[in-house]
Amino acid sequence: MLSNTHIAVNSPPPARECQRCLNCAVRNKTLCASISDERLAILSALGRRWRVSAGQVVTWAGDANSHCANVISGALKVSASTADGREQIVGLLFAGDFLGQLFVNEASLTVTALTDTDLCAFPRADFERALASYPRMERLLLERTMASLHEAQERMLSLGRKDARERVADFLLDLARRTGMCGAAGEIRVLIPISRGEMAGFLGLTIETISRQLTRLKSDRVIDFSRGERECVILNSAVLEAIVNPA
């Protein structure tokens, strides 16, 4: 879609920082995909790499909202919580995703690394200014924000109106669509990127309910976990589709 692998050979040698961005593994999956190599150099100067280890909190709800970032690698959860500690995961972030809220001074969400994670972080104020200078990046961010909103709307339907069986089936099919690998015999192999507890946090259920729904699907021969609890094999996606789309 975007031809951004080209590197001009006759321009002045780019700063080391800039080189780093040009070689970035997720260059064309992040918002940076929308800007030219030259402008990337400017943006590059604003960002810094940040390695976060699994379980570490990147942002606490309630803290000053000072930074935003591109996710280089790893996985994070974005969650909202009640004062007494109930947690709802409102989103998951993977390589290429944009992390952070803009235009507000206090973070309302807690972001936690699920795995060791690399970020490319920017001071929020700088990033907002940069947005104004790079219309294509702003447009891309608008498109992504709208897509997130759309996802959030689907999840409201799930959380408000669907039962546990439907939510779990939704989740598995979603994963399969996004990252599923087809196996030899028409089965689909899916790596579940999160624990049962996180699935529960994401789907608005408890750990026990998740487990029971999964074992039910397993005994119904719809899915299987031959190689560990994280490696789900979808044996019969038609059944999952039927659960998701009831008569």
The reply on whether position 231 binds DNA by CB under 7 A is no
Find which of its own copies, DNA, none residue 50 binds, CB within 5 to 8 Å per kind: none
Task: Provide the mask over 93-132, with x wherever binding to its own copies is found by CB under 8 A and - wherever it is not.
Answer: --------xxxx---xx----------------------x
CB 52 within 8 A of CB 114: no
Q: By CB under 8 A, is residue 245 in contact with its own copies?
A: yes
Q: Which option in DNA, its own copies, none does residue 246 bind, with CB closer than 5 to 8 A by kind?
A: its own copies
Taking residue 9's Cβ as centre, other Cβ atoms within 10 Å add up to 5
Q: Three-state SS for 239? A: helix
CB of residue 219 to its own copies, shortest distance in Å: 25
Contact between 144 and DNA by CB under 7 A: the answer reads no
* Residue 155 contact among DNA, its own copies, none, beta carbon within 5 to 8 Å by kind: its own copies
Q: Binding to its own copies by residue 162, rule CB under 8 A?
A: yes
- Name which of 121, 116, 83 is nearest 100 in CA terms: 121
Cα–Cα nearest to 206, from 168, 160, 241: 168
Q: Which is nearer to DNA, 150 or 230 (CB)?
A: 230
d(CA 129, CA 106): 18
- φ/ψ (deg, to 5) at 51: -100, 130
Give me the DSSP letters along 6-24.
Answer: ---SSSPPPPHHHHHHHT-
* Nearer Cβ to DNA (55/135): 55
| Residue 229 binds DNA, judged by CB under 7 A | yes
Shortest distance (Å) from residue 57 CB to DNA:
15
Helix (H) / strand (E) containing 92: strand 87-94
Decide if 8 contacts 38 (C-beta within 8 A). Answer: no
Residue 142 contacts which entry, its own copies, DNA, none (Cβ below 5-8 A, type-dependent): its own copies
Q: Does 158 bind DNA (CB under 7 A)?
A: no
Would you count residue 80 as binding its own copies (CB under 8 A)?
A: yes
Contacts of 65 (CB under 8 A, 6+ apart): 59, 100, 101, 104, 105, 106, 107, 124
**182-205: buried (b, 16+ CB within 10 Å) or exposed (e) per residue?**
eeeeebbbbebbbebebbbbbbbb
Site string for DNA, 199-218 (x = CB under 7 A): -----xxxxxxxxx-xx---
Give residues in contact with its own copies (CB under 8 A): 80-84, 86-88, 90-91, 101-104, 108-109, 132, 135, 138-139, 141-143, 145-146, 148-150, 152-157, 159-162, 203-204, 245-247
> Residues interacting with DNA, by CB under 7 A?
163-165, 195-197, 204-212, 214-215, 225, 228-230
